[in-house]
Amino acid sequence: MQNMREAIEATTRRNWLRTTAQTATGLLAGAWVGSALMADSRIAARIEEAPSEHPLVPALQMAARSRDRLDAVEDYEATFVKSEVIGRRLTSSRMKLKLREKPFSVYLKFLEPHAGREVLYVANRNGGKLLVHEVGLASLVGTISLDPNGKLAMEENRYPLTMLGMRTMVDTVMQQWLSETKLDDISVNYFPKARVGKLHCKVIESTHASRRPETKFQMTRLYLDADSGLPIRVQQYGFPARQGDRAPLIEDYLYLDLETNVDLEDIDFDPSNARYGF
């Protein structure tokens, strides 16, 4: 029985790394410096310091206003949809998300693939580990604990789950754009009447004319909900391998069916919650 348990647990860990651990939604690994999140005042100061004539400055100002809207958001529920290139393969997943800002807390329930899989994380609790509940035969092992930044959790994962959320998403794009105000080969377009399904959005799109060592993505799109002003999506496209080819999608993070300030409580992030399978 012990050998069987160890075998199942090893298989569970491998499968989770290939699929479930890909729930990070922080973005742009190369753009992160130190703790990665900048205070509002520092962001504003850096925008003020940027060349006023640079085409990214109006984009940064719009993004900053959207980020300000997040200050009033204490928690939210959403359908989180993501696509990421892991290795050489574009992977996609869809899951139900509960997120609370303070203390930073995340609950995920996978819809596809592997419907029913659950992941919990609460800052400074559970030994700083992710709690993972598998489905099917692997569920016999029970709850698995993983270091979100450890080798196992990051082996086939672009970003740790601790980077999930709209706040990190928009902060990271702003940090990228601030660094790119030093470049002069960028064009910025605005699409005020875009749509994501039935959702009306305003889209900011920045594009590099040529590839440089310091530019990881050729094109970036930030989507703002037209009604709430909240940042709900970021798409990142790489440089095509050959001139004339379409830019390949590298990262796509989308928050659908968003409901904010829904009064999430500790029990929503507790493995003892009777509605969960932990």
Residue 197 lies in a domain: yes
Q: Domain span at residue 255?
A: 26-115+159-259
- Predicted pLDDT of residue 274: 96
- Predicted pLDDT of residue 157: 67
Q: Where are the alpha helices (DSSP H) in the chain?
A: 2-18, 40-49, 56-70, 151-154, 166-180
Residue 133 lies in a domain: no
Cα distances (Å, whole numbers) of residue 212 to 85, 97, 216, 218, 250: 21, 36, 8, 10, 17
| pLDDT score of 158 more than 90 | no
Total structural domains within the chain:
1
CATH of the domain at 205: 2.50.20
* 3-class SS string, 204-230: EEEEECCCCCCCCCCEEEEEEECCCCC
The residue-averaged pLDDT of 52-68 equals: 95
Whether the CB-CB separation of 257 and 98 falls below 8 Å is answered with no
Average pLDDT taken over every residue of the chain: 85
Give the DSSP per-residue string, 152-204: HHHTT-SS-GGG-SHHHHHHHHHHHHHHHTT-S-EEEEEEEEEEETTEEEEEE
Residue 229 lies in a domain: yes
- Predicted pLDDT of residue 237: 98
- Predicted pLDDT of residue 162: 93
Residue 7 lies in a domain: no
More confident residue, 29 or 107: 107
DSSP state of 124: T
Residue 278 lies in a domain: no
- Confidence band, pLDDT 50/70/90 cuts, at residue 49: confident
Question: Rounded to the nearest 5°, which phi and psi values hold at 230?
Answer: -75, 150
Cα distances (Å, whole numbers) of residue 37 to 46, 68, 102, 169, 178: 13, 14, 15, 10, 13
Residues 6+ apart with CB under 8 A from 197: 256
Q: Look at the pTM and tell me if it is higher than 0.75.
A: yes
